[in-house]
Amino acid sequence: MNLISAVVLSVLVNLGSGAQNLTFPPWFLFGVSSAAFQVEGGWNASDKGESIWDRLLHTHPDVIVDGTNGDVACDSYHLWRRDIEMCEELGVNVYRFSISWPRLLPSGFPNYISEDGKNYYNNLIDGLLEKGIQPLVTMYHWDLPQSLQDLGGWANPLIVDWFADYARVLYTLFSDRVKYWLTLNEPMVICDAGYGLMGAPFLDDTNIGLYLCNKHVLMVHAKAYRIYDEEFRHLHHGMVSLSNVALWFEPETPADTEATKLMMQFYEGRYAHAIYSKLGGWPPELEKLLTENGKREGYPYPRLPPFTPEEIEYVKGTYDFYALNHYTSKQVRKVDPDKAGSWPYYGSKEIGADMVNGPAWERALSATWFAIYPEGIYKQLLWMKNNYGVNNIMITENGLPSFEPTLYDLKRANHIRNILEQVHRAMTEGVHVLGYTVWSMMDNFEWTSGHKLKYGLYAVNFTDVHRTRTARESARFYASVTRTRTIPLHETMDFE
Ligand code: BGC
């Protein structure tokens, strides 16, 4: 990165002028994120097992907008040295990546640990640490071993033990060096997308399977957390959490206030209340609503499988920090449940509300469904602190999508700047934010959007066998932020 861009220059000039730049404390962790299935490729390298995403994409390429798959992706399986180099160029303190369960445990069970899988992650972890970069490891970012799906996957309560075995292998192999762990990435997507025809295993079961999954993800997380707590914490003193994705919701009009609260509980509380609230268990108003909806449809069971009092205690408090993935915000509009459904998720039908973009909110680069509303993250952070009393938060994903591959992505740089400004604002108002990681370090396999949708600070040439990575303007900007720990004044960012 020898080229000083206009954006970087603006940071430096601004610093020189002594204007009031916003500075982050020395302990604040700047990072970037990725996920195994989206970057690694090497889908059948060595003895790797098949994952549910491998299976879906090989049997139903039609579910992906451009018909591509993750067989090679960014080829990080071979290019991990370059990935570390990019982290260095970006000057980040942490690199968030995930471990592919079927790469490490090809059968899904710990009867056999792949040497190649183990070496791959050891190399990555050691390589990062040599450069002073902390690994932030997600144990599960959606690539379940197909063997476990064949046994019922997330709808089978035995997944709690299967995952516990996997987690124990991970802690045993890596927790001497990995201090930040995330058990699951976005349980909302694991269940709502996986059982709502939006991601692997691509099932259509939003009445029973989805809600079984809801309970099991929470039990899985809690058990993996408790294993660390009881067997590894005293040795390695790390931190464990799970990443929840949270859209910020606000009412379109005052009449939509109640529906908005339910929407928050549906999309966030369903995966957070049991862990972070003082009460534990399901969010009460949501549980009531979903039970009534299920009853009306003639189901003999409540939609959300009840927790026993012991289970409530078991799940409650299983976090060392709150890991937040935040991308965008929506306004909530109450409507007749039969007419609801402007959003691809079925949740609006349960609640009887649609999600719309705020009229004044800007749209992302060509991805018009994505509203740009930086204040949303500020409000979200305060909501988490006020609602759950959690005051140790790490932003584990945030970024801006684009269908355009341009290297001159000033809008993305500007967005990162504006989000960081809002994070800083929340911090000055007493929210303790540990760090911020950008999604994503580089363009990658963006699930059902294939290679079309891009989030990368680095562009990846997917037609080149070498999968060349090239820094975008946003990468240069972010590198200047991580190095100065400062964001420039808005007026100095000449972007549009
Ligand atoms: C996921 C990523 C994904 C990103 C952008 C997040 O919900 O964790 O895997 O690529 O959103 O869609």
pLDDT in tens, 343-393: 656 788 899 999 999 999 987 766 667 899 999 999 999 999 999 999 999
- Which of 40, 186, 268, 421 does the annotation list as catalytic? 186
Confidence (pLDDT) at 56: 98
Helix (H/G/I), strand (E/B), else coil: 335: coil
Confidence (pLDDT) at 491: 62
**Per-chain mean pLDDT for the chain:** 94
| Cα separation, 476 vs 479, whole angstroms | 5
In the predicted model, what is the mean pLDDT of residues 107-123? 98
Counting from 1 in the atom list of ligand 1, the atom nearest the Cα of 449 is 12
Distance 32 CA to ligand 1 centre (A): 13
| Cα separation, 295 vs 52, whole angstroms | 32
- How much of the chain exceeds pLDDT 90, in percent? 88
Q: Is 473 a catalytic residue?
A: no
**pLDDT above 80: residue 77:** yes
Q: State in Å, rounded, how far the first CA of the chain is from the last one.
A: 23
Q: Is 491 a catalytic residue?
A: no
**pLDDT above 50: residue 17:** no
| Cα separation, 442 vs 386, whole angstroms | 34
pLDDT in tens, 20-59: 689 999 999 999 999 999 999 999 999 999 999 999 999 9
In the predicted model, what is the mean pLDDT of residues 398-423? 95
Tokens read off for 362: 């800007």
User: Do the Cβ atoms of 30 and 92 come closer than 8 Å?
Assistant: yes
In the predicted model, what is the mean pLDDT of residues 416-436? 98
Counting from 1 in the atom list of ligand 1, the atom nearest the Cα of 446 is 10
Distance 292 CA to ligand 1 centre (A): 32
| Cα separation, 94 vs 400, whole angstroms | 20
User: Is residue 381 within a helix (H) or strand (E), and if so which, with residue range?
Assistant: helix 375-388
User: Do the Cβ atoms of 323 and 396 come closer than 8 Å?
Assistant: yes
Instruction: Tell the residue nearest (CA) to atom 3 of ligand 1.
Output: 446
Distance 302 CA to ligand 1 centre (A): 30
- Among 157-161, 338-342, 470-474, the minimum mean pLDDT is found in 338-342
Counting from 1 in the atom list of ligand 1, the atom nearest the Cα of 447 is 10
**pLDDT above 50: residue 112:** yes
Confidence (pLDDT) at 367: 67
Distance 474 CA to ligand 1 centre (A): 18
| CA 103 vs CA 32, 97, 106, 143, 190: distances in Å | 22, 14, 6, 10, 19
Domain residue ranges of the chain, discontinuous segments joined by +? 29-464
Q: Which of 281, 271, 345 is nearest to 309 (CA)?
A: 281
pLDDT in tens, 300-331: 999 999 999 999 999 999 999 999 999 999 99
Confidence (pLDDT) at 404: 87
In the predicted model, what is the mean pLDDT of residues 166-186? 99
Ligand 1 pocket: which residues have CB below 6 Å? 35, 38, 185-186, 189, 245, 325, 397, 439, 446, 455
pLDDT in tens, 240-254: 999 999 999 999 999
**pLDDT above 50: residue 496:** no
**pLDDT above 70: residue 423:** yes
- CB-count burial class (<10 Å; 0-12, 13-18, 19+) for 100: buried
CATH superfamily of 29-464: Glycosidases (3.20.20.80)
Q: What is the DSSP letter of 255?
A: G
- How much of the chain exceeds pLDDT 70, in percent? 93
| Cα separation, 87 vs 133, whole angstroms | 8
Counting from 1 in the atom list of ligand 1, the atom nearest the Cα of 439 is 4
> Is the N-terminal amide bond of 405 cis, ω within 30° of 0?
no
Across 386-401, b (16+ Cβ under 10 Å) vs e yields eebebeebbbbbbbbb
Distance 186 CA to ligand 1 centre (A): 9
Distance 321 CA to ligand 1 centre (A): 20
Instruction: Tell the residue nearest (CA) to atom 5 of ligand 1.
Output: 446
Counting from 1 in the atom list of ligand 1, the atom nearest the Cα of 440 is 10
- Which of 268, 397, 421, 473 does the annotation list as catalytic? 397
- Judging by DSSP bridges, how do beta strands 329-334 and 371-372 pair with one another? unpaired
